[in-house]
Amino acid sequence: MSVVGESYLVGLLGEGVLPSLTPPLHEREADELGLRYLYRPIDLLALDGAGAPGAPGGTGDLDATIARVLDAAALLGFDALNITHPCKQRVLAHLDEVTPSASAIGSVNTVLLADGRRVGHNTDVTGFASALRDGLPGADLGAVVVIGAGGAGAAVAAALLDAGAGRLTIIDLDASRAGALAGDLTARFPGATIDSAAADALAARLAGPASAVTGVVNASFAGMHTHPGIPLDPGLLHAGLWVADIVYRPLDTELLRAARAAGCSTLDGGGMAVGQAADAFRLITGVEPDRDRMRPHFAAMIREGR
């Protein structure tokens, strides 16, 4: 018979998370491993007084909502919370401890709740790193552009620099946010060349001399079902580039289709989604999941339109 210590209660905190594939991905793998594992979404849009724009009855106080959810999760016996937009950066102020890698990029996507403490981790970094390694082995990291300076963009940028990127450019609609991230990364990676620019400078970067850029990663919302479109002019793509997209709904984004048509090597968002989930699962349970089993399950859920 199972006891409390052998079961896991996990939540996903963020905006619009009810359709997320992360809970069923975790639960299915736990079933395969014989673990009792309950994973529930905690959607800011459904919380009275939540800070997400447009939340029913929302007060706009996101920090207060994060604090309230963390307190409630601890009181109710949750083992962990996964954290997604728009809380990955704001949650840091509410934690007792943050791992060095998460602190360095100012972004947390997993909070472990144990012994009265809240410890923040980031598995987006390792998730993208493993996806890049497996999906684009030997990719030229000489000069890479990352589109998006939010929590996901920070994780992608750190993973690229960990992998040896020589030059990294952060592009964001908010130039000040891109600049702040570039500054933080420069302090952590003094041997790399890191700069930033506003979104309107992207075309100039990609159309530079002999297009010195070797790779592009979309770490923004552009291309999601809820934010359709493409983050750059497809005419800027050419066969000398590799292109990655962290969007996974849909897996085959407009950006990736345009990149393939231009002769680019491509990487979809499924690898990062599974990689970060697997790493979070291991942190929460102490059990190594079977990533080869999780990948086809994830792909099947995408095909089924879940």
Catalytic site positions: 88
Long-range pairs of 49-58 with CB within 8 A, sequence gap ≥ 24: 51/86, 52/15, 52/86
Separation in Å, CA 18 to CA 29, 84, 181: 19, 12, 29
* Contacts by 227-235, CB closer than 8 A, 24 or more apart: 228/254, 229/254, 230/254, 230/255, 230/258, 231/147, 231/202, 231/255, 232/147, 232/202, 232/203, 232/206, 233/203, 234/258, 234/259, 234/261, 234/262
Q: Are 48 and 78 in contact (CB under 8 A)?
A: no
- The closest alpha carbon to 254, from 224, 288, 279, belongs to 224
> CA-to-CA distance for 139 and 144, rounded, in angstroms?
10
